[in-house]
Amino acid sequence: MNEGNKASPKVLIAEIISWLFFPPLVATVFFVFLVFWFSTDFSQGLQWMVLVSPFLVFIPLFFFFLSYKLGWISDLDMTKRSERPAFLIVFILSLAAASLILYVLRVPEKFFAFAFSGLILVTVASLITLFWKISFHTAVTTSVLSAIVILGGLRFWPLFLLLPMIAWSRIVLRKHSVMQVIGGSLLSAGITFVIFYLFGFNIFY
């Protein structure tokens, strides 16, 4: 991509959208929302945050920026598929630890179902990305939106209209192909709805 393209309004808009829906940011914001939505009071929510945040946020971010500083990854999007495995292994282990802590804390089942579906999604997507660069932007956002619809009801389905915008931004920035952004959404929606269904939650009845 040349400097002219980088300076174009279309690319600038795509970059803004891409950063607004940066997967760790989207997941973290929704997780914080769920913590204080499902906790009985502020002190309980704060306890959950203190116990889980190191594994969900700080350890993955520390390893991510350390990898960038040391040159293990060439850009913040980890555009090169070969650079993703090390970080994803750390992230999966961190998510597994966070899920285990939430289980021990006996958080509400709806909350745990989302955390567990996230663990399964990241694990499956990480295996796929070894061979095909599936979009984590569309996958993570679809997971959050699916959870909102499952937990809040079908009245929230218009939020899915955000997905074409996010997919467009990733394609414009040449980070993914059309099939990779669609694949991320389809995989995520499938896993999220199946996991919630196995936990006994179904929006259709």
Q: Write down the pTM of the prediction.
A: 0.86
125, part of any domain: yes
26, part of any domain: yes
Above 50 in pLDDT, residue 4?
no
- Determine the structural domain holding residue 109 and report its residue range: 3-198
188, part of any domain: yes
203, part of any domain: no
183, part of any domain: yes
Percent with pLDDT over 70 in the chain:
95
Q: What is the pLDDT of residues 79-97, one digit of tens each?
A: 777 778 888 899 899 999 9
204, part of any domain: no
Split into its structural domains, the chain has a count of 1
205, part of any domain: no
Residue 25 has a pLDDT of: 87
DSSP state of 107: -
Residue of higher predicted confidence among 59 and 78: 59
Q: In the structure, what pLDDT confidence band is assigned to residue 9 with cuts at 50, 70 and 90? A: confident
Residue 2 has a pLDDT of: 46
Residue 99 has a pLDDT of: 93
69, part of any domain: yes
